[in-house]
Amino acid sequence: MLIVFDLEGPLTPTDHAYEVCALLPEGRRLFERLSRYDDLLTLEGRENYQAGDTLKLILPFLLVHGVTDDDLVKVSQKSPLTPGAKECVADIYQRGWMTGVISTAYQPHAFAIGDRLGIYRDMIVATSISFSQWESLVTEDAEALVLPWEERILRCRADDDEELKRLLDEFFWVHLIRYPLGVVLETPIMGGKRKTEALSQMAHRLGLPLSQCVFIGDSITDCHALNLLRQSNGLPIVFNGNEYALPYGKVGVASDNLTAVLPILSAFERGGWQEVQKLVEAESGRPDSPYQWLGDEDWSKAVAVHRQFRSLLRGLAASLG
């Protein structure tokens, strides 16, 4: 059996890119606007755009402000682990199961967290990136474009979807693409459908059918991977998820400790998702049960409790798509 985790949410509460953006003046506010724009483009179904592409949208701003590869690692070193993550991964290995990570996060961060958890690097798939390769693109002309636009974006209200989309459409797809720095928009981010491809490839490499795979995710970047297993008789688990992820899971786990997923994994090994459903139904009478069966119409009932634990563990990052 293969258990694959999304990184941010299930294994670490930190949104690494959000914290990297915090190195910039007003960086958090900037990231929140770009993250909302990412949601809008994803929900719109923009051609050639994947959920999680926020990580390429922030690149011109990070580069102009002088953020380096070393900065990525320094921020990652400060990231805590989700309570129970280390114990959960250790238990998975003890039971003879295999585990891996498929994450939208930048690869240096994914490797750093994976190393702390003892997950082999060849079982970690993330966004490959190197800021040093783009240093020559940060010219005076590029700075003269990006910095005034950054001010305009920050003046836009984060909840004004129409104006935010108009503004950012113009910046990225009319102006930035005319500059050499615009090449950063071609960076392949490991989100959306790319996660399904990575999950299929990982299972194939291990000689496992998708029906023997588990994916544990929590946000909009995980929808496709969750749905792939939902349609393949595998097990898609939503751990402290948001309203974008919950419709695509089979079982929800709302908890302040990742070890809560272990009984679900044991049930799945014994008898597939049907055995998981029996466990969830048996637990449903307990007021403190962390489990919810996410049927086609039932997932909305789980939003409130997942929001509660998501906010508890992830803080400011909980509101990001």
Query: pLDDT tens-digit profile of 125-166?
Result: 999 999 999 999 999 999 999 999 999 999 998 889 999 999
Question: Using CA atoms, how far apart are residues 252 and 242, in angstroms rounded to an integer?
Answer: 11
Burial class (CB in 10 A: 0-12, 13-18, 19+), 276: buried
Q: What is the pLDDT of residues 74-93, one digit of tens each?
A: 999 999 999 999 999 999 99
Q: In what order do the strands lie in the sheet with 124-127?
A: 124-127, 98-106, 2-5, 213-217, 235-239, 251-253, 291-293
Q: What is the pLDDT of residues 212-269, one digit of tens each?
A: 999 999 998 999 999 999 999 999 999 999 999 999 999 999 999 999 999 999 999 9
Question: Using CA atoms, how far apart are residues 91 and 273, in angstroms rounded to an integer?
Answer: 20
Query: Do 160 and 198 meet the contact criterion of CB atoms below 8 Å apart?
Result: no
* Dihedral pair phi/psi, residue 203, rounded to 5°: -65, -40
For residue 146, CA distances in Å to 52, 140, 175, 188 come to 21, 10, 10, 21
Domain ranges of the chain: 2-13+81-128+191-319, 24-66+130-186
Q: What is the CATH architecture of 24-66+130-186?
A: Orthogonal Bundle (1.10)
The neighbouring-strand residues paired with 238 are 217, 252
**pTM for the whole structure:** 0.91
Q: What is the CATH architecture of 2-13+81-128+191-319?
A: 3-Layer(aba) Sandwich (3.40)
